[in-house]
Structure 1
Amino acid sequence: MSSPRLLSRSNFVLYASGTWRYLSLSTGAITAATKLIHKYSSNNIPAFGKEHTRSYQRFKKMDTPLDVFQGVKDRFHGVTVDGNQQDIADKAQFCEKLHKSLDFWRENKNRAIWFHVYKKQADWVPILADAGFDFHHARSGVVTMYIWLPKDESNNLPSYAHTLVGVGGLVINERNEVLVVSDKHAIAKNIWKLPGGYVEPNENLVDSAVREVMEETGIRTTFRSMVCLRHSHGGNFGCSDIYVVIALNPLNLELTRCEREITRVKWMPLDEYFCHPEVLDASRLFVRTYLDYQKRGLDFTCTNMMHALLKKEYQLYYVSQGKDGNQQVPKV
């Protein structure tokens, strides 16, 4: 459902202030945010490819003989071979080189051997399987197969990602109305819920909530607070599921329904929301939890951090004493 261009605009608005903390919902704030959005409109954003490609982590290349597959060694003494980096004429050459490589890796006491096999190399898959390789995971256009070489050590390789992550955007305006939608393809028809959806690859939770709310309702938002999360099992593709509720401040009030996925969208008064028969108890709990945080002056916030060793940015979510003690809490 996501659009790379929409995502880029959302990210810029969030990062422009250098923080995700509370932004007062004033006319000036709305005007400033709107200018930023127009400044970085689709006409000014570089074009993106239609297909999102996830990159694999890179490590140091190994020094290997010419008749052995060129790969990179990881810190666990494993080897990763990328099919796109290999010059193979046919299946016979691949099979011969594979067995020589396995002999070399065993003698070198390498542990896990990973092969990234792309769609154009699909005829490698049965050869790898016959040599003892198994499937680990697949992405669009590529499958990863592996073999565990040590005989005196049990296989302790981690499972591939087994949990899906979704977000719900809890948006309350100054009129004490909460933003709600009804999904076109919902299991239970006509249920009012928070707008939201799945987090995209390489997308932060807050960015995802901002994007989903914008796509489904036309409401532009900024981060206010984390609220809570729900963890369940047996979801799509047999995965577990984490659903994170994120409170957002609205920057506009005009609704634009996503006709593809949403049947209804509205601003619902809080007193109606808490007793409406088409609002689930869990959804009511999400809002009550957020209002309780505000009443007690708690700020479940988010800060950008940098990992000291990996030199990678990450987001830290934590509860602190709210700085905005003057914010009005809706009475219901």
Structure 2
Amino acid sequence: MENSEGFNVTKDMYNGLTIDTSKQDWTEAIPDGTLQQLEGAIENWKKSGIRALWVKVHKNHSSFVSVCVQLGFDFHHAKSGYVMLNQWLSKDEDNRLPGFANQYLGVAGFVVNDKNQVLVIQERFNIIQKHWKLPGGLADEGEDLAVTSRREVLEETGVEAEFVSVLTFRHQHNFRYGCSDWYYICLMKAVGGAINPCPQEIAECRWMDIEEYENHPSLTDTNKFVVKCYREHVARGSSVAIVPTQVLSYNKKTYHNIYSIKSSGNTEGNDFSLDPATSQGDTQASSNIGPSTSLAS
């Protein structure tokens, strides 16, 4: 943090500056003359070679948004408690400022029990006619795929299930608000709990024979394809799984979960709790799920 032109700013590696209103010597009110001060500062920053400006405006300083807009800033994104604006200053380069996140991440659980049944739901609210589908939903911020799959299955159905493998995923565009959408389907094994559907979201929940589910008239083409992927997985003898391995990041300050194809007998060292603080490399997940006979025929 440094003071530049009367503002407390943070300089980034790309020669840009960020003004965070919570870091300024302000009370709840924006000081008189701030518009003129910022206008002069922008001109001086341009002359000194600053390429871009970011302004993070917290809710208690929301009147500063008007100041920024008057001086050429545009909206970048908003989250709970603040809005971010930016402005490209360099006249010698095209605007290189990155856009905000434009992809959703959702996860569903293909949960199988020892009777070769799959856990399915009907949602209370549908944009199309009611149909059977897999439990799932959006990942929370900072949440890994395996964690999301367990949470969503438990929240929507009351059934406890453990992650086995990524089964398949869908990538579609022009989803909500023009964003794209990644939707991962995780193969899971039921380990406990009784069906107790969420009354706010779920109209009906049940265990259904996989053949009945596959041939149900309400099933979408996407869900039919997911069943096909499961059958192919079983036909291979459930010999491989797509599972995460925790690998140190480039700065060696955190772990990243890197998903790869592994044989079902070679998942040692893969911690499916996905918590680096507790990872001991001794948690194993078997991909040997489903009936012992091939379902491919």
TM-score range, shorter chain: 0.7 to 0.9
Other structure's SS at 2:61 match: helix
Structure 2 residue aligned with 1:309: 251
Q: Which moved more, 1:286-295 or 1:250-259?
A: 286-295
Which of 3, 13, 24 is the matching residue for 1:75? 13
Give the match for residue 66 of structure 2.
Answer: 126
- Residue 281 of structure 1 deviates from its aligned partner by 2.6
Q: Is the 8 A contact 1:291 1:329 kept in 2?
A: no
From 115, 119, 140, the counterpart of 1:175: 115
Provide the C-alpha distance between the structure 2 equivalents of 1:82 and 1:249, rounded to a whole number of angstroms. Answer: 47
Structure 2: distance between partners of 1:119 and 1:243: 33
2:159 to 215, 219, 224: 219
What is the correspondence of 1:259-270 to structure 2 with a 5 Å cutoff?
259-270=199-210
1:68–1:104: 8 Å Cα contact kept in structure 2? no
After TM superposition, the structure 1 = structure 2 runs for residues 126-145 of structure 1, keeping only pairs within 5 Å, are 126-145=66-85
1:232 partner amino acid = Q
Which of 308, 315, 322 is residue 264 of structure 2 equivalent to?
322
Residue 268 of structure 2 corresponds to none
Classify 1:283/1:167 alpha carbon distance in 2 versus 1 (closer, same or farther; 3 Å).
Answer: same
CA drift at 1:326? 6.1
CA deviations 1:179-233 (Å, max 9, x no partner) are 0000111122320000001111111111111110000000111110001111111
> Is the contact between residue 176 and residue 330 of structure 1 (CA under 8 Å) also seen in structure 2?
no
SS of the residue 2:143 aligns to: coil
By how many angstroms is 1:75 displaced? 1.1
SS of residue in 2 equivalent to 1:234 = coil
* 1:86 counterpart letter in structure 2: Q
Give the Cα–Cα distance (whole angstroms) in 2 for the partners of residues 110 and 256 of structure 1: 57
Match of 2:240 among 268, 287, 298: 298
Residue number in structure 2 paired with 1:282: 222
What's the secondary structure of 1:92's corresponding residue?
coil
CA offset digits 1:152-188 (Å, max 9, x no partner): 1110111111111111111000110000000111122
**Residue 231 in 1 paired to residue 171 in 2?**
yes
Aligned residues: 270
Show structure 2 runs of 5+ residues with no match.
266-285
Match of 2:192, SS? coil
Match of 1:246 in 2: 186
How far apart are residue 247 of structure 1 and its match? 1.1
Change (3 A) 1:165 1:298: same
147, 153, 160: which is aligned to 2:93? 153
Alignment check: 8 A CA contact 2:30 2:64 kept: no
**Letter of the aligned partner of 2:241 in structure 1?**
D
Pairwise CA distance, 1:325: 8.0
Pairwise CA distance, 1:140? 1.6
1:214 to 1:330, Cα distance in 2 relative to 1, 3 A: farther
> Is the 2:264–2:288 contact (alpha carbons within 8 Å) kept by the matching residues of 1?
no
Offset at residue 330 of structure 1 (A): 5.8
Point out the structure with the larger helix share.
1
Shift of 1:253: 5.0
Task: Map Cα deviations across residues 20-74 of structure 1 (whole Å, 9 max, x no partner).
Answer: xxxxxxxxxxxxxxxxxxxxxxxxxxxxxxxxxxxxxxxxx23x35x42111111
Q: Distance in 1 between matches of 2:140 and 2:161?
A: 18
Structure 1 residues 98 and 326, CA, compared in 2 at 3 Å: closer, same or farther?
Answer: closer
| Higher relative strand content | 2
From the superposition, tell whether residues 99 and 329 of structure 1 become closer, same or farther in structure 2 (CA, over 3 Å): farther
Q: 117, 122, 128: which one pairs with 1:188? A: 128
TM (normalized to structure 2)?
0.85
Note the aligned Cα RMSD (angstroms).
1.9
Which SS does the other structure have where 1:214 is aligned? Answer: helix
For 1:161 and 1:210, the matched residues in 2 are separated by: 25
Q: Structure 1 residues 290-299 or 181-190, which shifts more?
A: 290-299
Separation of aligned partners in 1, 2:9 and 2:292: 58
Match of 1:101 in 2: 41
Unaligned residue ranges in structure 1 (runs of 5+): 1-60
